[in-house]
């Protein structure tokens, strides 16, 4: 893990920390291994990790492929979720409209860019949960499609 060189009363020591678990450390000094108990619990220094929840957008890069639905749900039904936070600029469908895979449903402005949200399901628009001008967060259900 870490190597150190010490000079104590004119004597040279080469020390290496092999492992640390709780308050027990394995240390090698001048080639001899020692197990050392430390008075307090040692917390190894780590670089912090950014942890974000995984958000899977309901749209995909190949609109011609249908994603699999759950065994209990009717085929083709499901919801269209927002892939990123933004504002809805335009809706291209209404409740009751029949949609096909790859059909443009709405336009979402996110980070000053316009993003087309296409359908990855085939069916009838059952509900539109967000409307033109609404702000949405990542993962919000925008449109519900059913049979």
pLDDT of 96-143, one tens digit each?
Answer: 999 998 899 999 998 889 999 998 888 999 999 999 999 999 889 999
Domain regions of the chain by residue span? 2-37, 78-146
CB 145, CB 95: distance < 8 Å = no
Is the pTM above the cut of 0.85? Answer: no
For residues 91 and 128, is the Cβ–Cβ distance under 8 A?
Answer: yes
Domain 78-146 maps to which CATH number in 3.30.200.20, 2.40.50.100, 1.10.760.10, 1.10.40.30?
2.40.50.100
Secondary structure of residue 135 in the 3-state scheme: strand
Q: Determine contact, residues 69/134, Cβ cutoff 8 Å.
A: no
pLDDT at position 39: 77
User: Over the chain, what is the mean pLDDT?
Assistant: 81
For residues 126 and 40, which has the higher predicted lDDT (pLDDT)? Answer: 126
**Is 108:117 a contact under the CB 8 Å cutoff?**
yes
* CB burial of residue 45 (10 Å; 0-12, 13-18, 19+): exposed
Strands (E), the chain: 2-8, 11-21, 24-29, 32-37, 78-81, 86-91, 98-99, 104-110, 113-118, 123-128, 135-136, 141-146
């Amino acid at each position: 893990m870490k190597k150190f060189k010490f000079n104590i009363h004119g004597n040279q020591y080469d020390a290496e920390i092999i492992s640390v678990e709780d308050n027990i450390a394995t240390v090698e000094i001048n080639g001899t291994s020692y197990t050392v108990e430390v008075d307090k619990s040692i917390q190894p220094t780590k670089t912090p990790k950014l942890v974000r929840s995984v958000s899977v957008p309901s749209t995909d890069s190949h609109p011609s492929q249908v994603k699999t639905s759950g065994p209990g749900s009717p085929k083709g039904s499901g919801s269209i979720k927002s892939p990123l936070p933004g504002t809805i600029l335009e809706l291209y469908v209404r409740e009751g409209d029949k949609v096909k895979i790859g059909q443009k449903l709405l336009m979402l402005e996110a980070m000053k860019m316009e993003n087309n949200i296409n359908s990855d399901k085939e069916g009838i628009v059952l509900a539109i949960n967000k409307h033109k001008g609404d702000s949405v967060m990542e993962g919000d259900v925008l449109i519900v499609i059913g049979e």
